Amino acid sequence: MADESRQSGGGRGRNGRAGVIKYLGSKRLLVPDIVSSIGSVREGGTVLDLFSGTSRVGHALKRAGYRVLANDHNAYAHTLAACYVRADAEDVLPEARSLVAELNACARRAEPGAGHDFFTRTYCVESRFFHPRNGPRIAAVREEIARRGLPTELEAVALVSLMEAADRVDSTTGVQMAYLKDWAPRAFNDLELRVPDVLPRASAGKGVAVCMDAEAAARALSGEADVVYLDPPYNQHSYLGNYHIWETLVRWDAPEVYGTACKRVDCRERKSAFNSKRAMREAFEEVLEACGDRALVVSFSDEGYLGRAELEGMLSRRGRVRVMERDYKRYVGAQIGIYNPSGERVGKVSHLRNTEMLFVVVPRRSGAGRLRSRSTSARAGGLAPGAIAAA
């Protein structure tokens, strides 16, 4: 999936959006179109985000006033949702500000280069995702968070603050399948936590964050939603495998690891049907069925196992479908190229751009008036006229 956000670090940007981690599949550039597409179906109300990932979309929807129900089966993604969707500024920010200051003081007290804790030994010495001077700081802050026994939402804010701080000093191209041969310049910076961009409670109500299988979450929560947003994994790339360090940082379980990247051993066991070309269609059909007759907005890529025509066929059985396409540069790893462990270029990347698609599905029971005209929807999303086509 296109991810031009990889070039930037975390923290709150000039536009006030959440400073989320670098992420393969981030919707940074597509967020306005997603919010506009949901608004073309329903202005206000509740949106169920079944594959919440970094919660960048959920955060934007909350800012727009929607009540968001966020789900993801990975612990790190659930924590991001607990921070950016469930937690409300009026409830957590005063404590969060003082807590982050105290955690930064804890990081400064950590012994640089100690290297005896699990995190430093595994991710700074046996592998090189972080510089050894920052490993003990990350570990010390994480231990302090665990020691304090914080309330759920405040703990999520603290963990996200640490995750984003670690992301700003990593030495990768944005995925944790591998690390750079030479240290990235940012890896030499000192770890520094920042308070995440936690929003006030949305006008439509308090958000929810759950950690479930997508089909189970759809069956449990779609009845509360006006619109369901679906951004499933679409090819062989596993988010758990790509972001296994964040999973360990949140779970703090010192797992058995394997391989050069020191992946959690459960990366071999926790498989998703959405990462299987053979199983994906059936898995997606089951999730759609579990959503009932709710309006849908589906995000997909032309790099996925399902093509546009196939997706339109599946979705058109559920209602009227409109499709928007956007062209993007591929993620920075593809721009760099393919290299062997010795740093020699060994392959040529097949393509440097891909197409992102948004499918808007309105159940026929809703009537034609529920979906804005093509020209209105295009203007609302900042798109050229005709960018949205009726199927």
pLDDT value for 375? 30
pLDDT confidence bin for 288, thresholds 50/70/90: very high
pLDDT of 278 higher than 50: yes
What is the reported pTM? 0.84
Query: pLDDT tens, 130-178?
Result: 999 999 999 999 999 999 999 999 999 999 999 999 999 999 989 999 9
pLDDT value for 95? 98
Query: pLDDT tens, 295-346?
Result: 999 998 888 888 999 999 999 999 999 999 988 664 544 444 544 455 555 5
pLDDT of 382 higher than 50: no
| % the chain with pLDDT above 70 | 80
Query: What average pLDDT does the chain have?
Result: 85
pLDDT value for 366? 55
pLDDT of 368 higher than 50: no
Residue that is written with structure tokens 């197409």 in the block: 355
